[in-house]
Chains A and B, each alone.
Chain A
C-alpha cells in the first residue's frame, strides 16, 4: 500500500514537472521573428491561420506585419524602441486561437494585431478585454468582434457597412432591378454581409428574386445556384464571398452563357491573381476594396514590391490592412508617448484614447479615424474591373 502511494506521488510529481518545464518566464515563445537578445522592446503579437483552409489570409497578414515591423525597426523603432514580433497559428478555430493568444501572453505580448478570421477573433477579444491588452484586427469584420469590447479596433470595414453600402450603391446607380444572391451560409463573414445587404435592399426597394446558399463543404460547383438565379431572371448577382470561389462562379456562369452584372464585396479583391483563371471573365465585375496592388502611389508600390521580393505573390487587401495596422499602432503609441516599460493595462488604456485621435493615411484609405465602438471611418468604395485592372467608378 505504501509503495503504491509512493509510486503514485512520484508519478504525479513527474507529470507536474512536465508542466513546470513550460513555465511563465516568457522565453518559450516559438516563431520569434525578430532577434531581441534581452533588450527592452515592444512586443507585438499576431494571430491568424497559417495552416488549414484559410491559410492564405493568415500568411498574407503575417508577411505584411513582418515587412512593416522590419521597416519601422530600420527607421529607429517606436519612441526609440525596437519591435519584436511573434505570430502564432490558430487554424481559424476559436479554441486554438485562444491557445495561441495564451502562448503570446506567456511570451510577454503587449499589443495584439489579430486575429484574421471573425469567429476566432470574437473568442480572443473576450480574452484581451479581460486581460486589458490592446487589440487591433486587420480583417475580422463581424460586429461581434468589437461589440462590448472597448479595447478592440478594426482596420477593415465592418460587415453591416459593406452590405449597406453595396445595396445603396446598386440602387443609386441602377445597376440592377432583379437581384440574385449566392452566399456561403457556413461562413460568418459571408452570411453577415448578406444579411445586412438584404435588410438594406428591402429599404431601398431592390427586388431580391433568388437567394442561394452554399457551404464550406461544397464550394467547387455552383451550377445549381447559378441555374436558379438564371431561371429567376436575376440581372445582377450579389456575391459576398472570397475570390477563390468567385473565380469558379464567374467561370461557370460563363460556361452556362449567363452574363448578369456581377457585384462582389471586399473578398473579391485578389480575383485577378487566381491561378488558371481567365481574367477576361472578370471584366465588368464590381467589387469593394480599399486597396489596389497596382495603385500608382509610392507607399503602395513600395509595399507591393517588398512583398513580392520577400514572399512572392501579390499581396491582397488583408495584407495591406495588416501593414497599415502596424503603422497605426506606431502612430497611436507616439501620440500617447509611451515606452515598453508601461504595463499592458497602461498601454491599453492609453491606446484606446490615442487611437480615437489618430488620423491616418495608409495603403487602404485616406484620413482613417476610429470611433469608440472600434469601427474605422473609411467607407467602402466600389471599383470595376476593366482591362485587367481596377477602375474607380465614383
Chain B
C-alpha cells in the first residue's frame, strides 16, 4: 500500500469505509436492529451519492457548472423503468435488470453527449444555462408522453391516452404526469453499493488517466492546453458524457426502488439539480468521497429531523447554511486553522492521543 500514490490510497480508504458501513448495515438489517426508515433510505442514499459523484466529475475536473444533472438522472430513471415495465413478462428478472441498467446509463450518456456537442465548444457559463433548460425540458416532455402496448406493438402519443388508439386490452406503460406505475422493485442495497463503488473507481481512474490529465489541464488553462495541441472539445465531451452516464446509473437505481415514478419539480426538476450541486459543493469540489458523505448526510438529515414536525425544513436550511459557512467562509477557516479544527489537525491530535496511550 505504501508504494501506491496518495489519491489511490484515498480511494481504497473510501471504498473500505463504504464496505465496512455496508457490512454493518447488512448485519443490523438481518438482525432486525435497523429501523424501517433507515432501511428504506439505504437505496435512495446510494442513488443520490451516485449522481453527486457524476456531477463532481463535471464540476470538479471539467470545471464546468451543470445545473441539469437531475435531468440526466430523470432520463436514466424513465428509460430503464420503461424498459423493465415493457419487458416485465418476457425477460427474466436478472438479465432484465442488467439490460435496464445498461439502457438507462446509455440513454443518459447519449443525452449528455448530444447536449455537450454544441455547448462545450463555447467558453463561459453556457453549459449551466443549457443544462438548466435541458432538465426542465426533459421533465415537461415526460409529463406529456404517453406510451401504451398492445398485441400490435407499442403506441406513442404526445397528446393524451385516447390518441394512442390502443386495443381495449392494451397496457399503458407511461401515462403522462402519472408516470410509470408498477416498476419491478429490483434495486437492492447490495446492487446500489456495488454500483457506487464501481462509479468511484471509474471516476478515480478516469481522473488519473491520460485523458483525465488532459481534462484537468484544460480546466486549469485552456489556452495553454490548446497550445500543446490537445483536442479540447473531444476531452471535454468524454468527461461530460461519463458524468452524465454516472448520473443515469443513479436514476436507474432510484427508479427501481419506487413503485410510482413521476417527474415533478421536487424529484427531477431544478430543485433536485441544485440539491445535487449542494452535495458536491458541501462535500468539496473535486473530492468524490466528500460528495458521497454530503449526499448521505443531507438525504438523512430531513428524515432524522422528523421529530421537529413542521420546523424541520427550517432547521434543515439553517444547518445547511452553518455547514457551508463552517466549510468555506474565510474567517471561519482562519479560526479553524488557528485552533486546529481542521480535518488534518483533528487527525493529528487523534494520532498523538493514540501514541500516548
Contacts and interface: CB of A to CB of B under 8 A. Distances in A.
Given A95-B44, A119-B178, A186-B143, A30 B307 contact: yes
A103 interface: yes
Q: Which of A23, A29, A50 gathers most chain B CB within 10 Å?
A: A23
Nearest to A26: B35
Name, among A30, A88, A100, the residue most crowded by chain B CB atoms within 10 Å (CB to CB). Answer: A30
Contact of A122 (B16, B36, B41, B181): B181
B179 interface: yes
A191 B177 contact: yes
A31 B309 contact: yes
Contact of A19 (B25, B175, B354): B25
A1, A96, A125, A148: residue with the most chain B Cβ atoms closer than 10 Å: A96
A126 B259 contact: yes
Which range holds the interface residue count of chain A?
A: 35 or more
Contact of A102 (B37, B143, B265, B267): B37
A88 B32 CA distance: 23
B309 A102 contact: no
Contact of A103 (B143, B265, B306): B306
B177 A187 contact: yes
Contacts of B36: 24, 102-103, 105-106
Given A12-B20, A192-B178, A102 B35 contact: yes
A161 interface: no
Interface residues of B, number: 58
A16 interface: yes
A215 B309 contact: no
23 contacts: A3-B354, A8-B16, A8-B20, A19-B24, A19-B28, A23-B34, A89-B306, A92-B266, A93-B264, A94-B259, A99-B37, A100-B306, A105-B36, A122-B181, A144-B175, A147-B181, A185-B144, A187-B177, A188-B178, A194-B160, A202-B162, A215-B143, A217-B140
A144 B176 contact: no
Interface string B7-40: 0000001001100110011001000111111111
Given A19-B28, A30-B308, A215-B143, 6 more contacts: A1-B1, A7-B347, A9-B20, A89-B312, A94-B267, A144-B182
A29 to B, nearest CB: 8
B13 A8 contact: yes
Contact of B261 (A24, A29, A94, A187): A94
Nearest to A119: B262
A50 B310 contact: yes
Contacts of B16: 8
Interface in B191-232: none
Contacts of A239: none
B351 interface: yes
B306 A88 contact: yes
A19 B17 contact: no
A301 interface: no
Interface in B32-63: 32-41, 44
Given A24-B33, A103-B306, A12 B17 contact: yes
Nearest to B20: A12
Interface in B117-154: 136, 140, 143-144
Contacts of A194: 160
Contacts of B182: 126, 144, 148
B160 A195 contact: yes
A198 interface: yes
Contacts of A191: 160, 176-178
Given A102-B35, A102-B37, A195 B161 contact: yes
Nearest to A99: B303
B333 interface: no
A211 B162 CA distance: 13
A144 B178 contact: yes
A213 B140 CA distance: 12
A95 B303 contact: no
A225 B17 CA distance: 56
A304 B30 CA distance: 49
B291 to A, nearest CB: 16
Interface in A161-198: 184-188, 190-192, 194-195, 198
Contacts of A216: 264-265
A199 interface: yes
Interface in A185-235: 185-188, 190-192, 194-195, 198-199, 202, 211, 213, 215-217
Contacts of B323: none
B37 A106 contact: yes
Interface in A1-60: 1, 3-4, 6-9, 11-12, 15-16, 19-20, 22-24, 28-31, 50-52
A316 interface: no
A368 B248 CA distance: 47
Q: Which 5 A-B pairs have the closest CB atoms?
A: A30-B307, A126-B259, A122-B260, A102-B40, A102-B36
Interface string A119-140: 1101101110000000000000
B176 A185 contact: yes
Contacts of B179: 119, 188
B254 to A, nearest CB: 8
Which of the listed residues A6, A19, A122, A187 has the most CB atoms from chain B within 10 Å of its own CB?
A19
Contacts of A99: 37, 40-41, 303
A194 B33 CA distance: 47
A92 B306 CA distance: 16
Given A9-B20, A19-B25, A95-B44, A142 B264 contact: no
Contacts of B185: 126
A173 to B, nearest CB: 24
B35 to A, nearest CB: 4
A66 B51 CA distance: 40
A9 B13 CA distance: 11
Contacts of A102: 35-37, 39-41
Interface string B169-187: 0000001111101100100
A198 B162 CA distance: 8
